[in-house]
Amino acid sequence: MNSALAFAAGLVFGVGLIVSGMTDPGKVIGFLDVAGAWDPSLAFVMGGAILVGFFAFAFAERRARTFLGAALQLPGRRDIDARLVGGAIVFGVGWGLAGFCPGPALVSFGSGQDKAAVFVLAMLAGMALFTVAERYTAGRPDRS
């Protein structure tokens, strides 16, 4: 039941990414290229998503459970540390290099493009590397 709904959410998310133009790396790079011929489309993607998301989250923040009775799991951290900023910068460099972020890369992989498969496999390797590194440092007291 819950998995079927998660599948539906993933499907709608993917269709949204395709319709919006986010699955076109050239369009993403065109948005990031503010010094060249700038394509502001992606600001409209974020604007549209936040327009809907703002009300959904405002509604959710006042509830403890979902419509189906499951617990609402919202991140509660508010601290800003070097990991957050450093990680976001590293992500941004990769995003600018290829024009892919995780969602659109997975959708393009789903459409059977070999280049997207290379990106996705490398991305999964990066995530796996993080998990291994976290396990390795977990026993140390100076973990930051």
Partner 1 sequence: MTIDWTHFTPWASLAGGMLIGVAAAMLLLLNGRIAGISGIVGGLFRPIAGDVAWRVAFVAGLLVSPVAVALFARTPFPRIEAGFGTLLVAGLLVGLGTAYGSGCTSGHGVCGLSRLSPRSLVATAAFMVAGVATVFIMRHVA
CB of 138 to partner 1, least distance (A): 11
Cβ-based nearer residue to partner 1, 48 or 141: 48
Q: Tell which positions 21-60 bind partner 1, by CB under 8 A.
A: 21-27, 29-30, 32-42, 44-57, 59-60
- Determine contact, residues 36/50, Cβ cutoff 8 Å: no
Which amino acid is located at 31 in the chain?
F
Cβ-based nearer residue to partner 1, 2 or 143: 2
CB of 140 to partner 1, least distance (A): 17
- Determine contact, residues 75/57, Cβ cutoff 8 Å: no
Residue 99, exposed/middle/buried by CB under 10 A (0-12, 13-18, 19+)?
buried
- 13 binding partner 1? (CB under 8 A): yes
Contact flags string 75-114 toward partner 1, x per CB under 8 A: x-xxxx--xxxxxxxxxxxxxxxxxxxxx-xxxxxxx-x-
65 backbone dihedrals φ, ψ, rounded to 5°: -130, 160
- 3 binding partner 1? (CB under 8 A): yes
Q: Which residues, in sequence order, are CB contacts of 87 under 8 Å at separation 6+?
A: none
Among 89, 87, 98, CA closest to 122: 98
- 137 binding partner 1? (CB under 8 A): no
Contact flags string 55-74 toward partner 1, x per CB under 8 A: xxx-xxx---xxxx-xxxxx
